[in-house]
Structure 1
Amino acid sequence: MSPRRTMATFTAAILAGAALAGCAESQRDDESGGGNGDDGTFVFGAAGAPEMFDPFYATDGETFRVTRQIFEGLVGIKPGTAEIVPELATDWEPNDDGTEWTFNLRDDVKFQDGTDFNAEAVCANFERMFDQNEAGQTAGEYWGYVMGSFKSDAANSLYQGCEAADDYQAVISISGPTSGFPTMLSLASLSMQSPTAMEEGDANGIAAEGEGFSFPDYADNPVGTGPFTFGDYDEANGTITLKRNDDYYGDKAGVSELVFRVIPDESTRRQELEAGSINGYDLPNPVDWAGLESDGNDVEIRDAFNILYLGFNLDGNNPELKDPKVRQALYHALNRDQLVQTQLPEGATVATQFMPDTVSGYNTDLEPYAYDPEEAKRLLSEAGAEGMELTFAYPTEVSRPYMPDPEKIYEALRTDLEAVGVKVNVKTASWNGGYLDNVTAGRYDAYILGWTGDYDSPFNFIGTFFGNLKENDFGTKGMPWGKQLADDLKSADAIVDEDERAAAFEKVNQQIMEDYLPGLPISHSPPALVVGPGVEGVEPSPLTAEEFDSVTVEGGQ
C-alpha cells in the first residue's frame, strides 16, 4: 500500500455496496479460483524487501504483498476489483444510529497454529491494536489513520470497544457514524491474527530504536488464517518462502510454495524472468511491455488508481516554500507532459489534483498547470526567490506503481527546476532504509512520493495527505489555512448523501489546487505486473493487492 506517514483522522466515502447490511455469504470459497494442486512453486520477483511480517505495524506495499497471503480480515476485496466482500465475517449489520456493528463470523476457521477463530479472537485483535505503547502508536499508522487515536486517547478514537455477543458474533462499537466503516476493515493492517501467537511472541513489545523501531519476536513469526503460512525469510539472499496452508477452510492454494525474491532492479527482474528463475514480477518497465508479450509472457495492466506527486515540507527550514507564488512557480517549471510521455507507461495522464478521475469527488473543472518556464521565473522573481535552494530527494532500491523508475523521474523534474534557476541539492536513501522515515521527519524540502488508493474513497486520497493537521508529510500545521483544510475534509466526510458529499470534495479539491497548493500532483499511471508462460490465475488488482492462492504453474517450477 502505501508510503509511511502518521495520520490521526478516520476514513470516508464508502465503496459501492460496502455497508451492505446483511451481506451475502462469504465469496472466498466460490471466487478464489484456487486449485488443489499437489506440487509446484510460484516465484515472484519483489521490488523491495519487507519491513517485517506483522501487518499491523506495516506501512509499505512490499510488506503487505507478503502478509496479504498469510492473513485475512473480517471483510475483504473481491479479486480484480475494488469491491468489498465478506471474508472472515459472513455478514454485518449496524444499529439504528450506526454506532454498533454486529459481525456474524464463519464457524469453520482456525488460525494456522490451531487457535480457534471466533468472536473472542476478533475482540482480542481489536483490543491489541487499540492498546499500544508510544512506539506502537507511531508504528501503527493505519490504525491511527482510520480510527483517530489509541487507548491512551480513547475519547478521540472512532473505535470504542468490542464484545463477543456469541461464539461467532462480535459487536464493534464506534463513536459515531462514518461512511468509512466497515470499509476500513479491508485494510491489510487490520487483518485478524492469532491471539495465542501474539501473546507468546509479545506482539506489542515494539520499541523505538534510533530513527526506527525494534520489533518483537512475533513480527518474524506471523500467524493468520489465510491460504499460505509463513515459512522463512532468508534476509541475506532476499528470499521469503510461504507454504500452502493445507488446513485452510476454503479452496487450497494452487501451488505448494509461494516464494518472493527481492530484486530491487527492474532490469534484473526481467533477466530473471527470461532465465526462468522467477515466474513473475511487479512493475515491468513500460518500454518493455511489448517485448515481454512477444516473448510469450503475459503483461497484466491494472487500472490507474494512484497519484505521483512532488511533496513539500511546508513547516520546515525553507521559508521560501511557504510563499504560494514560489510553489506555483515550481509547478509551472515542470514539463509534466514530456515526463508522462517519456517516463511513464501508455495510458498515464497528467494530474490536475491529488486523486484519479475514477474517485467520487474528482473535480472535472480543474485544468493542469501549464508548463511555462518564463512564468515560473517571473513568479520566483516576484517572490524574491531567484536562485533559491531546494533540498530535493528521491528513493532508491524500489519501483512503485506511480513511479516505475524513481531516479529517471527525479532527474526529469530536477532538470526542469534547474532550468528556471533553482539550485537543487540532491538527497537520496533506500525506500525502507531511511527514505520514508526522512520524509515523515521533514528532513527534505521536497521529495517525490505517491499513493495507491487503499479503496475507492476521496478521503483515502486527500484525507490521507491533509486530513491530520498535527502530523502529515506536507507540514500543513504551520500554514494559516492548514486547520481550515483539515476541518473541511472532516466536514465532507460526515455528509451522508453521496451526491452532496461528492460536491463537497470537489470544492475541497478546487481549494487545494487553486488556493493552497501544498504539493504538486504530477501524474497517474496504469501499473502492470508480468507472469511467464504456464502461469495461470493471476487477478490484477487496481489496488495492487493481488492474492496468489489462485495461481497455478504449469509443470510445477
Structure 2
Amino acid sequence: MKKIISLIAVILLLASGCGQKDKPCDIEAPQSATYVETIGRYGGQITLSTTSDPKSFNPILAKETSTTVITGLIFEGLTRTNGITTEVEPNLAKSWEVSADGLVWTFYLRDDVLWSDGTPFTADDVVFTFKDLIYNPEVPNSAKDIFTIEGKEFEVEKVDNCTVRFKLPIRFAPFLRSMSQEILPCHILKESVKAGRFNSTWGLDAAPESVIGTGAYKLKEYLPGQHVLMVKNPHYWKKDKSDNRLPYIEKMLYLIVQSQDTAFLKFTEGQTDYYSLRGSDYPMLKPKEAQENFTIYETGPAFGTSFLVFNQNRDRNPKTKKPYVEPKKLKWFTNLDFRRAVAHAIDKESIIKILMNGLGYPQHSAMSPSSGFFYNPNVKEYEYDLSKAKAVLQEAGFGDRDNDGFIEDEEGNPVEFNLFTNADNTVRVKIAEIIRKDLQGLGMKVHFTPLEFNNLVTKLDSTYDWDAIIIGLTGGIEPHFGNNVWQSSGHLHMWFPKQKQPATDWEARIDELFNLGVQELDQAKRKEIYDEWQFLVSEKLPFIYTVLPASILAVRNKFGNLYPTSYGGAFHNLEYIYIKE
C-alpha cells in the first residue's frame, strides 16, 4: 500500500545459520524472467487474515492499515505504481500532459469507468475529492500534508467530464506517483460534506451497499471481530488481453484474528491462503511446503520502519487544560541525551537472533534498504552498550540518588513511564519486553501494557495520552509520501503532531528539507536532500529504530499469475490472479 500508514509493524531481514547473509536458506525467490500474464478463469475465493478490525471504510480519514487493507480494494487513483517495476502507470486516468515548466498537469480520464453503483466516473469526482475532502479544513486527513507545499495548495479544475487540470504553486517532483490518491464519489458524498457529516460517513455501521468505489471489489459484509467479505465489482473497468472483464476471483474474505499466532494457526490448518512469516515461523513451515501445497517466497527486505517513540507533545488538552505530557516526563523525553541512552539500550542483535530466528536486520535509517535509490545507509548508529547508556544518563543528570536501584532526574523525580504496543503483534510484544528489561537495567521503571491496535492508534493520533510506544510505519520508494510524518505540522508527526511552528531547529530543518526535496527535479540533488534528512533523524532520534524482518511470504499453490515482489507483496496484481484448476 502506498499510504504512509500507518501504525502497524513493518520490518526486515538478516539471515543466519546457513552461510548466507542476504537471504534465508532454501526459500523460493520470484522468477527473474519477465512476468507475462495468462488468461485466467473466473470464480473462487481468496481467504486472508488480519489482526485488527477496520476503524472505518473511509479511506480519506484512515491513518491505519487495518482500514486501508480493505479500502485499498474498493477505491483507486488516477495512477498506480507497478508492483514489479515500481514505475508509475495510468489507472483511472488513461494519459496526461504536463506544461514545460512542470506546473500544469492535464489528465485525460477513462470514459469507461463506472462506480460500483453503475454511475459514471467523471472529473467532478476528482475535483470533489481534492477541493471538498482533502483540502477541507473540517476533514482531518493525512493526504493534505502530502498535497500542501509551503502552505500552498494545488488548484484543481474540471475541463470537461473526462479532463481535469491541476495547477501547482511550485514544482512537485513525485506528482505523478502521488496521483494514486484514492478518488471518492461526489454523487454519494457531497450531501454529507455539506451537512457536516462526512467525518462519520462510512463508519463501521455503514450499510455495505452504501460504500461505493471504482475498485475491483466492493464491500459485501462486515461482522465485527469475525470477518470482512468483499465481492467482485461487476462494473470494474479493467479487462484482460482477451477483453474479459476483471477481476477473475469472485470473493475476498478477510478473517479477523486476535494475533499473529492465530493467523499462523489459520494458515497451518488450511483456512487461509496466505501468511506473512515471522522468523520464528520459518523452521516450522518450511518442512511442510510440499506436503501442504504452498510455497515460501523471500522477496527481499520488507518495506517500512519499526521504532520506539517518546511523547514530546508540548500542547495542552483543550478540554482539561492540562498538558498532554507531565512536565517532568516532557523534560526527560525532549532531552536528546535521554533518547541517546535509550538508543544504546536496544539490543538489536539479540532481538534478531532470539525472536526472528536470525531473519532480520538491525535498523538505523528512516527508510528501509528496500526503498532503493533514496535509502541512506550512512547514518548515525547506536551500538548496544548499557555501560555507555548509563554514562550518557549520568552526564545528563540522571542517577540513583537514594540507592533504591532506580534512577531519578536532577529534581529527584523517579524515571517512571508507561510503554505501549499493539497486542496482536506478538513479535512486537516480545520486543517490547526485551527493551523494557534493558531499560530497567538502566534504572528506569517501565510499565508495559499491550493494547488493541485501534485503541493504540487513538492514543497516538487523537487523545495523546501515552508516554512511549513501539510501533511502525509502512514504507515506500518516495520519501515525500512520509511528509505527514516528518513535517512538524503533520498529522502523523507522532512525537509532537500538528505544530503551529517547529518546536526545534532540527524539526525546522526537516521541514525545509522536505519542501526542497519535493520541488527538486534533479534526482541526484533530491538524494542529497533526503540523505541529510535521514542523517538528521538518526542524530536527533525522534524515532529510536529497532529491527526489520525479511519479507517472507507463504502462499497456497493454487493461484495463476502470482508474482510476489518486495514492493507489491503477493497480490499486487490481484485483479489478474485466478485459481487454477
Q: TM-score, normalised by structure 1?
A: 0.82
SS class of match (2:440): helix
CA deviations 1:212-247 (Å, max 9, x no partner) are 996884887321122222211122x52111112233
Give the match for residue 487 of structure 2.
467
Give the match for residue 297 of structure 2.
300
SS class of match (1:295): helix
- State whether structure 2 residue 424 is matched by structure 1 residue 398: yes
CA apart distance, 1:320: 1.5
Distance change (3 Å), C-alpha of 1:351 and 1:273: closer
Give the match for residue 460 of structure 2.
439
CA distance in 1, matches of 2:54, 2:287: 32
Larger CA Rg, structure 1 vs 2: 2
Contact 2:420 2:468 in 1 (8 A): no
CA apart distance, 1:371: 1.0
CA apart distance, 1:369: 1.0
Distance change (3 Å), C-alpha of 1:32 and 1:67: farther
SS class of match (1:405): helix
AA in 1 matched with 2:236: Y
CA deviations 1:183-204 (Å, max 9, x no partner) are 1122xxx312333233477698
Match of 1:288 among 281, 284, 287: 281
CA apart distance, 1:437: 2.0
Match of 2:184 among 185, 190, 193: 193
CA apart distance, 1:415: 1.3
Match of 1:267 among 258, 261, 265: 261
Alignment of 1:104-183 (within 5 A): 104-130=108-134, 132=136, 134=138, 136=139, 138=140, 140-141=141-142, 143-148=143-148, 156-163=151-158, 165-183=159-177
CA distance in 2, matches of 1:228, 1:439: 31
Give the match for residue 17 of structure 2.
none
AA in 2 matched with 1:145: D
RMSD: 3.1
CA distance in 2, matches of 1:355, 1:494: 20
CA apart distance, 1:205: 4.6
Alignment of 1:407-422 (within 5 A): 407-422=429-444
- State whether structure 2 residue 211 is matched by structure 1 residue 222: yes
CA deviations 1:255-277 (Å, max 9, x no partner) are 21111111132222222223222
Give the match for residue 321 of structure 2.
none
SS class of match (2:145): helix
AA in 2 matched with 1:513: S
SS class of match (1:243): strand
SS class of match (1:177): coil
Contact 1:361 1:504 in 2 (8 A): no
Contact 1:2 1:61 in 2 (8 A): no
Match of 2:52 among 48, 52, 69: 48
AA in 1 matched with 2:377: T
Distance change (3 Å), C-alpha of 1:379 and 1:416: same
Give the match for residue 9 of structure 1.
none
Contact 2:229 2:254 in 1 (8 A): yes
CA distance in 2, matches of 1:32, 1:231: 31
Bigger drift between 107-116 and 92-101 goes to 92-101
SS class of match (1:549): helix
SS class of match (1:526): strand
CA distance in 2, matches of 1:529, 1:367: 31
CA apart distance, 1:379: 1.1
Alignment of 1:144-543 (within 5 A): 144-148=144-148, 156-163=151-158, 165-186=159-180, 190-199=181-190, 205-206=196-197, 217=206, 221-235=210-224, 237-251=225-239, 252-281=246-275, 283-296=276-289, 297-303=294-300, 304-315=302-313, 316-317=325-326, 318=329, 319-344=331-356, 346-357=358-369, 358-386=371-399, 387-388=407-408, 389-399=415-425, 405-432=427-454, 434-440=455-461, 441-453=463-475, 455-461=476-482, 463-469=483-489, 472-475=493-496, 477-514=502-539, 516-543=540-567
State how many pairs are aligned. 506
CA deviations 1:390-423 (Å, max 9, x no partner) are 4243333434xxxx62211111111111112111
CA distance in 1, matches of 2:96, 2:116: 25
- State whether structure 2 residue 88 is matched by structure 1 residue 88: no
SS class of match (2:296): strand
Contact 2:124 2:161 in 1 (8 A): yes
CA distance in 1, matches of 2:357, 2:488: 33
CA distance in 2, matches of 1:89, 1:511: 38
CA apart distance, 1:43: 1.1
Give the match for residue 152 of structure 1.
none
Contact 1:35 1:254 in 2 (8 A): no
Bigger drift between 262-271 and 198-207 goes to 198-207
Contact 1:121 1:194 in 2 (8 A): yes
Contact 1:49 1:262 in 2 (8 A): yes
CA distance in 2, matches of 1:219, 1:175: 39
CA distance in 2, matches of 1:71, 1:204: 23
CA apart distance, 1:464: 4.3
Identity across aligned pairs (percent)? 20
SS class of match (2:69): helix
Contact 2:421 2:432 in 1 (8 A): no
Distance change (3 Å), C-alpha of 1:255 and 1:485: closer
